[in-house]
Amino acid sequence: MEPNPTRESAFLHQEIAELRAEVARLKKENNDLQLTLLATVEHGDTVESELHATNRQLQSEILQRRKAHATLQDILETVLKDKADLELILKATAEHGDVLEYQLYTQAVETMRQSEELFRAISESTPILMILTQRLDGFISFANSTSLNQLGIDAQNLSNYHLRDFLVNPEDERLLIEQFQAEGAVKNQEVQVKRANGEVIWVSASVHPLRLGAGEALLTTLYDISSRKQAEASLLDYQQLLENQAQELEERVERRTTELRQAEEKYRSIFENAVEGIYQVSSDGHYLSANPALAEILGYASTEELMAMVTNVDRQLYVQPMRRFELIAYLKRYRSVSDFESELYCKDGSIIWVSENVRLIVRDDGEIVCFEGSLQNITHRRRTQEELRRHRHRTEQLLLNILPQPIAERLKQEEKTIVDSFSNAAVMFADIVNFTAISSNLSPEEVVDLLNSVFSTFDQLAELKRLEKVKTIGDAYMVVGGVPMPIDDPAGAIADMALAMQKVAQTFSPIGNHPIMLRIGIHQGPVTAGIIGSRKFSYDLWGDTVNVASRMETLGEPGQIQVTQTFFEELRDRYRFEERGSIDVKGKGMMKTYWLVGKIKSYQRKLVNPTMSKETPATKKILEKEKARSIISSNNLPERQPREPQTAIPAPELSDLAEYTSDITSG
C-alpha cells in the first residue's frame, strides 16, 4: 500500500479520524457498560431477595398441597366405598326388580291362562249362543260350540257368516241395531232364529260392545226361550180354558143350588117323615135336632117335648151309661159307628133296644161339633133273635142227647152215612127184672117217671165213666165202652159201670112187692157203629159182639152180671168173678160164662175217703135228689129250659156219684 505518500497521508488522516471516532464510541460504550453493570448488580440483589421470598412462599404452599392431597385421598376412599355400596344397592335393586318382574309376569300369564280357561269353559259349556262380530263389517269372528252346532256354522270359515243370516225376520236386525245405537247395548230382545236343522226357535238376544285391541267388536248372546214361549202360549190356552171352566162352574153352581134347594126340601121331608129316629146331639149330651120319629120311638109327644126333657142323653137315655161312653170312644177312634145296639129308656120308663148309626162331626181343629145319627127300634128283632138263638141251642142239645158229640159234628158237616168199625168195644145190656109185673101196679106216668129216674142215674154213671149210652129199648139199657171215642180201658169201665148199676138198683124202693133188680150181660169184641137212614136216625151198634152181649143179659139172672170168657180173661186179674159154667147160647152153641161180682181192692182207685162205709149218707143223698129232680122235671116239662139238659148234674152230685162208683168195688 505505500507507493503514493500523498494519498497515504490523506489516507492516514482519514484513518486517524476514524480511529478517534472509534475511541470515542468505545469510551461511550464503556461508560454505558459501567452504568449497566452497576444497574445489574443492584438489580441482582433485588432479584435475589425476591427469589428467596418466593421460595419460602412455595415451601409453605407445598405443605398445604400435601395436606390437601391427603384430604382428597380420604374423600376418594369414601366416594369409592359409597360407590361400591351404591353398586351393591343397584345390583340388589335390579335383582329384586327382576324377581318381581318374573313373579308378576308368571302371575300375569297364569291369570291370563285362567281367565282364558274360564272363558273357554263358560263359552263351551253354556247352552247360551255366544257370537262375536266385527262392528264395522258385521262378520263373525268367534262363535262358541253351542252356536256352531245349533246354527250350523263352519268353524273354519267364520267370516263367511253374518249374524243376520240366522234371523228369521230380517226386520229384527234393524231393530237390534237401532236399540244398540240408542242405548249402547241391547238387553233381552226376543227374536226368532233358524237352527241348522231348520227348526225355528225363540231366543232372547243381548248385544254388548267390546273393545278388543284396536277393533271394536259386539258380543251377541242368544238364549233359547222357546220352552218359556211355549209355556206362555199354553198358559194363555190354560187361562182361556180356566175362564171357560169358571163360567161353566158358575152355571153348574146355579143349577146345583136349585137342585140343592129341591134336595133340601126332599131331605127335610124325609127327616120329618122318616121311620128311623134322626138326631144331632151336642158334645155335652143335649139334642140339637131330632125328628118326629125319634120322639115317637122314645115315647114323647113331640120333638119339642123330647128336646126339652132330655138334657143329657148319656144319663137319661142309656140304660147302661157305659154303653154310651163306649160308643163315644169308638166314634173318637173311627169317626163313625154302625149298628151299635144298646138299651134306652123311653119317656114312660120302659126299656127298648135300639140300633144306632152315628157319625162324629168335628171341626178342622179336631174339636167335636156334634154327634149325628139315626136310630131304629129293634126291640122286636132282638126278641125274635133271642128266641131263635134259644131254639137253635135247644136243637143242638137235643141232637147231642141222641147222638155222641163227634158223630153229631160229622152229621152237621153233611156226612150222609156214618159207619165205623171198632176192634175192641165192651158192650153191656141191662134189663129191669119183672118190669111188666112192676109196671102193672103203676100208672103209665108213674112207669115213665120210674124209668126216667133209673135211666137218668145210669146216664150220669155212663158219663162219669166216659161210656156211650147207645139206647134204651123199653126197660132195657144199652151202653158201650170205646165207641165212638176210644178210651183207655173199655172193659174196666164197663165192669165198674155194671157193678155201680147193680148197687144203685138196690137203693130204689121196691114197687109193691117187687124190688128193682137188674139183669146185666157183658161181652167184648169188634163192633160196627154208625147211623143208617136219614130220618129219626140214631147212633147204633151192630155185630156179633152186640148179639152175644144181649144174650148174656137175657140168659142172666136177677141181680147178677153175666160176662163171657173173653171179658173174664181181660179182667180176671183186676176183678172178682165166679164161674157159672156152660150155657147154651142160641146161634153160638155152648159158652162158658162168669158172674162179675166185684173189684179186687188193690186195683181200686182211691177216689174217696177209705173210712166211708158201704151205706154212706152220700148214696142216699144222691138218690133222694135224683127222685126229686125227676118229679120236678116231669111237672115242668113244657117250660123246661133247653139250657139245662136232663143229663146235667151240679158238680157236687157228680162227685157223689164218683164216690158211689168206687164204693161199689168194696162189695
Name the site residues for other proteins (rule: CB under 8 A): 85, 88-89, 91-93, 95-97, 99-100, 102-103
List the Cα angle 476/478/480 in 5-degree steps: 170
CB of 95 to other proteins, least distance (A): 6
Q: Which is nearer to other proteins, 74 or 624 (CB)?
A: 74
Helix, strand, or coil (residue 404): coil
Q: Which is nearer to other proteins, 84 or 185 (CB)?
A: 84
Closest-CA residue to 464 (of 324, 664, 316): 664
Pairing of strands 418-432, 368-377: unpaired
Q: Which is nearer to other proteins, 105 or 119 (CB)?
A: 105
Type of residue numbered 129: L
CB of 79 to other proteins, least distance (A): 14
Q: Which is nearer to other proteins, 94 or 196 (CB)?
A: 94
The answer to whether 128 and 145 have CB atoms below 8 angstroms apart is no
Type of residue numbered 614: K
Q: Render the burial of 163-202: b for 16+ CB within 10 Å, e for the rest.
A: beebbeeeebbeebeebbeeeeebeebebebbeeeeeebb
CB of 73 to other proteins, least distance (A): 20
Distance (Å, rounded) from C-alpha 127 to C-alpha 123?
A: 8
Q: Which is nearer to other proteins, 82 or 165 (CB)?
A: 82
Question: Looking at residue 539, what DSSP letter applies?
Answer: E
CB of 90 to other proteins, least distance (A): 9
Q: Which is nearer to other proteins, 96 or 614 (CB)?
A: 96
Cβ neighbour number for residue 607 with a 10 Å cutoff: 14
The answer to whether 591 and 576 have CB atoms below 8 angstroms apart is no
Q: Which is nearer to other proteins, 93 or 350 (CB)?
A: 93
Distance (Å, rounded) from C-alpha 641 to C-alpha 394?
A: 8
CB of 99 to other proteins, least distance (A): 5
The answer to whether 420 and 540 have CB atoms below 8 angstroms apart is no
Per the structure block, which three cell numbers stand in for 277? 129316629
Q: Which is nearer to other proteins, 103 or 635 (CB)?
A: 103
Q: Which is nearer to other proteins, 24 or 100 (CB)?
A: 100
Q: Which is nearer to other proteins, 78 or 160 (CB)?
A: 78
Distance (Å, rounded) from C-alpha 595 to C-alpha 608?
A: 26
Q: Which is nearer to other proteins, 90 or 532 (CB)?
A: 90
Distance (Å, rounded) from C-alpha 243 to C-alpha 231?
A: 18
CB of 145 to other proteins, least distance (A): 39
Q: How many CA atoms lie within 13 A of 482 on its CB side?
A: 22
- Give the DSSP per-residue string, 211-275: EETTEEEEEEEEEE-HHHHHHHHHHHHHHHHHHHHHHHHHHHHHHHHHHHHHHHHHHHHHHHH-S
CB of 125 to other proteins, least distance (A): 34
Pairing of strands 277-282, 287-290: antiparallel
